[in-house]
Amino acid sequence: MILTFTDFEEFLKEARSMGVVEDLRQLISLDLIFFEKHKNYLIFNLRDYDEEPNNILVFSREKTLVYTQKAIPKNEFRMFSLTMQKPFGESTAIALILFKKVLQNYSGKFEKLHTDLYELEMNFDLEKISDVNNIIRKLTDKLEDFIDVLIRVEERRVREVNTAYVGYDYHVLRATATHLLDRCKNSVNRVKDVRMEYEMKSAQELNKRIEYLTEIMKKLTAITLILMIPNIIASHYGMNFANMPELQSQWGYPLVTLASILFSIGVVIIFKKKGWL
Distance CA 11, CA 4 (A): 8
Identify whether 7 is part of a domain: yes
pLDDT in tens, the chain (277 residues): 899 999 999 999 999 999 999 999 999 988 999 999 998 999 999 999 988 889 999 999 889 999 999 988 888 888 888 889 999 999 999 999 999 999 999 999 999 998 998 888 888 888 888 899 999 999 999 999 999 999 999 988 888 999 999 999 999 999 999 999 999 999 989 888 888 888 888 888 888 888 888 888 877 777 776 667 666 666 655 555 555 565 566 666 677 667 767 777 776 777 677 666 6
Cα 197 versus chain centre, distance: 15
CA distance linking residue 275 with residue 221, whole number of Å: 12
pLDDT of 180 reads: 97
How far apart CA 268 and CA 117 sit, in angstroms, is 54
- Is 21 domain-assigned? yes
End-of-domain residue from the set 36, 71, 106: 71
Task: Enumerate the β-bridge partners of residue 34.
Answer: 45
Q: Which of 48, 71, 94 is the last residue of a domain?
A: 71
d(CA 145, CA 199): 33
Contacts within 8 Å (CB) and 24+ apart, 259-267: 259/233, 260/229, 260/230, 260/233, 260/234, 261/230, 263/229, 263/230, 263/233, 264/226, 264/229, 264/230, 267/222, 267/225, 267/226, 267/229
Q: What is the pLDDT of residue 234?
A: 62
DSSP sequence for 89-139: HHHHHHHHHHHHHHHHHHHHHHHHHHHHHHHHHHS--HHHHHHHHHHHHHH
Q: Is the pTM of this model over 0.95?
A: no
Cis omega (within 30 of 0) on the bond before 53?
A: yes
CA distance 255 to 247: 9
153 within some domain:
no
- CB-count exposure of residue 120 (10 Å: 0-12, 13-18, 19+): buried
- Does residue 20 sit within a domain? yes
Distance (Å, whole) CA 237 – CA 249: 14
Q: Is residue 57 part of a domain?
A: yes
Is position 83 within any domain?
no
Per-residue pLDDT, 238: 55
Q: Is residue 183 part of a domain?
A: no
Query: Of the residues 20, 55, 71, which one is the last residue of a structural domain?
Result: 71
Report yes or no on 260 lying in a domain: yes
- Residue 100, CB half-sphere, CA atoms under 13 Å: how many? 16
Q: Give me the CATH number covering residue 43.
A: 3.30.460.20
pLDDT in the model for residue 252: 61
Full residue range of the structural domain in which residue 64 is found? 1-71
Domain total in the chain = 2
Q: What is the pLDDT of residue 241?
A: 53
How many Å apart are CA 261 and CA 29, to the nearest integer? Answer: 85
Q: What is the pLDDT of residue 17?
A: 92
Half-sphere exposure of 130 (CA within 13 A, CB side): 2
Q: In what order do the strands lie in the sheet with 55-59?
A: 2-5, 64-67, 55-59, 42-46, 34-37
CA dihedral for 183, 189, 195, 199, sign (positive or negative): negative
